[in-house]
Structure 1
Amino acid sequence: MAEEGHVSGKGSFTPVIQRQDAGKASYAQGDVAEEGPLRDVVDTVLGFARTLRHAGVAAGPDRVEAMLAAIGHLDVLDPSAVYWAGRLTLCSGPDDLDRYDAAFVAWFSGRRARLPRPAGRPEVRLAASAPLDGGAGEGDDDGETPDVAARASADEVLRHRDVAGLTDAERAHLRRLFALLLPATPMRPARRRRPAAHGSVHPGRTVRQALRDGGEVSRLRHRRARPRPRRVVLLVDVSGSMTPYADALLRFAHAAVRARPGSTEVFTIGTRLTRVTRELRLRDPDRALVAGGQAIPDWSGGTRLGEVLKAFLDRWGQRGTARGAVVVVCSDGWERGSTDLLAAQMARLRRLAHAVVWVNPHKGRAGYEPLTGGMQAALPSVDHFVAGHSMAAFEELSGVISHA
């Protein structure tokens, strides 16, 4: 049985969570934590979560809290326990596992340990002690540790690249980033009030409690309105001029549907209106886009925004789909039909919707001005005019929708 701060097996390891005093030599093999104070557990986990986010894993605050709760029941000096606690709480899918392993190696760099892996997966040699600075620790001279910082820097550059100019390899990597995107949901106040610890006094519940207590009012009962998700409607232009951006826009729509399947609707617009919400509810993004592509009859066709928007409002919007919703129109504004019809339908949409957001991929380019007839007709009825040309622009769009 291993001593405290070590792992049984071949050799022994310094504890996972340690800190050295500045300028002092590293721990000798087998030393316990008496030579230096234990590194704060929360700071270590938060730093590891930041490394994971730079590596492309969506380790949000809720997942970090879950890892801290798990570590609270485990031995923090056991590398195996820390590894599996993080893997089971911070990873959201199979695509995160390789990046998690690489980030774990980079953050907890030092002498290496063979940690248990599930059957059928190759073993990964993982470091056991946390780094003292930005460089690699002892045992990293063999060059096997992945350069997570370089990968994070490449991800950051890719986030700001225009999706229309990406190579096939960059597009494949961008798809993995889209799979980790979790668009926020706009909320609205609900009319129905529910029991709560604070808020207005609930007379009925207060009286009933007093009757149970023999007629003595010993405690006031409260109630308050809890916010509910507001409907989000995405109208994605799949005409010929939007072909370079249609795939990325539909992947953003798939992420939105995946986050809130009950309050998100997706339509494609071009020469006709097509509802693709059901197809985009498939869990796998590639399968969802293939199913959506098969359902869209006017892919890479013309653009008749006014006519299609009128069809949407007549069939769906007026009946309640657009009423009180955040409506997101993703188009470059090229209109082959009447711009007067488009202006009238946009004004009609503005009266129904809670907020109208227009996403134009060309807005992200330097010197862009909305001079096309379609954009000139639509902008007076638009609340938010944003770009939609890169991953960073889609993240900004998610924030605009959530605060609309």
Structure 2
Amino acid sequence: MVQFDAFAGEREVDPLPRLVGFTSVLRHAGLPVTTDRVAAFLTALDELDVTSEPATYWAGRLTLCADPDDVGRYDAAFAAWFAPKRGGPRVRVQDQRKPPPSQLAALTREAGADEPESDDDDGPDDVQRLRVAASATEVLRHRDVAELSPAEREHLRALLALLRAEPPLRRSRRRRPGSRGFPDPGRTLRAALRNHGELRELRHRAPAERPRKVVLLIDVSGSMAPYADTLMRFAHVVARRIPSTEVFTIGTRLTRITRELRHRDPERALAAAGRAIPDWSGGTRLGDAVRAFTDRWGQRGVARRAVVVIFSDGWERGSPDLLGEQLGRLRRLAHKMVWVNPHAGKDGYAPVQGGIVAALPHLDELLAGHSLATLERLVGVIADA
């Protein structure tokens, strides 16, 4: 029988706080752990051996995971929370997929890597380690992506996967039953017939809502190379969370990569997108690329009443006047135009590049996109549109 460290020795410790703390860790890691799931988890453990690590693992996995995508984060959080501290046996996970690193597991291991572990470690040390992890995560959220180390980039990728992108909504021409709005004669008469012809209340119809389209245009030229991987991963999250999203890359030409980014695994999605993009780290002809998008896709409905987001630093090898003219055409089709410049959040930045100067009159917002915090703000701007 595998014993938890908290129950080692002759002393008896109440396991309930440790188990409830584990469910809180899963909730912070992005799993939809509700009160009902926690109750089911504790009920299952009441029927099993609470001191058995495999029993606890499988009871939690069967009651707290709602989707196959949750298994990787669950495994990482379980290993971080119930990790053996004196060389004891570990749980052997049967799932053959490589679990994505979670912010909890990666940062907790990093924070406690240089600290010796004693036999008396219990709850308070775990709380302290989690505080260090949260502090490191907060620092990483505001770091410039171009200045991160390879290990920090891995942590950032895990945090990007936790973003919850919500689709912007718009009023539909369809109507739904509501407590106020336009009168609904049909429902009113049917209710009167059920009351033997007596008209007791007036039924109403309210405008329904439907998701607004989102278009992402990502500059993959050489000047955007330090940010291209992060922006592509951000686009993958948005495309997976918002089905009405279309993603294109712009450089010397226009490339549609929506189909490639629909893949669930971000590594496979980015590999497929990389094979589809012929001008990766090439030059920049934003005006020609925007014109190609407007002619082929925008006027045919992709950009109509959509939220259009352009990721670029504004360096333009072509004519800035052409870029301004094409952005004007695109602005007349779109509901909202947002330009995300990774350099806009740095001290001393001024919008003096030719592409930015030409684009400013047609933009609703100019945002920074150099860190996780700025991308989180962009998610909010898209949802509020």
TM-score interval, normalised by the smaller of the two chains: 0.7 to 0.9
| Counterpart for residue 30 of structure 2 | 58
CA contact under 8 A between 1:71 and 1:82: conserved in structure 2? no
Say which of 293, 298, 323 aligns to 2:279. Answer: 298
SS in 1 for 2:65: helix
Aligned mates of 2:342, 2:303 — CA distance in 1: 23
Superposed displacement of residue 401, structure 1: 1.2
Say which of 319, 326, 348 aligns to 2:307. Answer: 326
TM-score (norm 2): 0.77
Does residue 382 of the first structure (1) align with residue 382 of the second (2)?
A: no
Q: CA RMSD in A?
A: 3.5
Alignment of 1:228-239 (within 5 A): 228-239=210-221
| Counterpart for residue 87 of structure 1 | 64
Aligned mates of 1:274, 1:204 — CA distance in 2: 49
Does residue 170 of the first structure (1) align with residue 152 of the second (2)?
A: yes
Of stretches 380-389 and 200-209 in structure 1, the one that deviates more from structure 2 is: 200-209
One-letter code aligned to 2:73: D
Q: Residues 202 and 143 of structure 1: is their aligned pair in 2 closer, same or farther, counting only changes over 3 Å?
A: closer
| Counterpart for residue 372 of structure 1 | 353
Does residue 70 of the first structure (1) align with residue 37 of the second (2)?
A: yes
1:142-165 deviation per Cα after TM superposition (whole angstroms, max 9, x unaligned)? 999592222222222211111112
1:209-265 deviation per Cα after TM superposition (whole angstroms, max 9, x unaligned)? 32243212244433222221110000000011111111111111100010012x100
One-letter code aligned to 1:248: T
| Counterpart for residue 255 of structure 2 | 274
The aligned length equals 340
Q: Residues 178 and 378 of structure 1: is their aligned pair in 2 closer, same or farther, counting only changes over 3 Å?
A: same
| Counterpart for residue 227 of structure 1 | 209
Q: Residues 198 and 276 of structure 1: is their aligned pair in 2 closer, same or farther, counting only changes over 3 Å?
A: same
| Counterpart for residue 233 of structure 2 | 251
Q: Which runs of 5+ in 2 are unaligned?
A: 1-6, 51-55, 84-88, 97-118
Superposed displacement of residue 179, structure 1: 1.6
CA contact under 8 A between 2:306 and 2:334: conserved in structure 1? yes
One-letter code aligned to 1:148: L
CA contact under 8 A between 1:161 and 1:390: conserved in structure 2? yes
Q: Residues 246 and 118 of structure 1: is their aligned pair in 2 closer, same or farther, counting only changes over 3 Å?
A: closer
Say which of 301, 309, 314 aligns to 2:290. Answer: 309
One-letter code aligned to 2:140: L
| Counterpart for residue 398 of structure 1 | 379
Superposed displacement of residue 141, structure 1: 5.6
| Counterpart for residue 74 of structure 2 | 97
Of stretches 379-388 and 205-214 in structure 1, the one that deviates more from structure 2 is: 205-214
CA contact under 8 A between 2:341 and 2:369: conserved in structure 1? yes
SS in 2 for 1:226: strand
Does residue 201 of the first structure (1) align with residue 168 of the second (2)?
A: no
Superposed displacement of residue 49, structure 1: 7.1
Aligned mates of 1:17, 1:246 — CA distance in 2: 43
Superposed displacement of residue 90, structure 1: 10
Superposed displacement of residue 70, structure 1: 3.2
Aligned mates of 1:377, 1:120 — CA distance in 2: 52
Q: Which runs of 5+ in 1 are unaligned?
A: 1-6, 19-43, 107-113, 122-137
SS in 2 for 1:370: coil
Superposed displacement of residue 116, structure 1: 9.7
Aligned mates of 1:120, 1:322 — CA distance in 2: 42
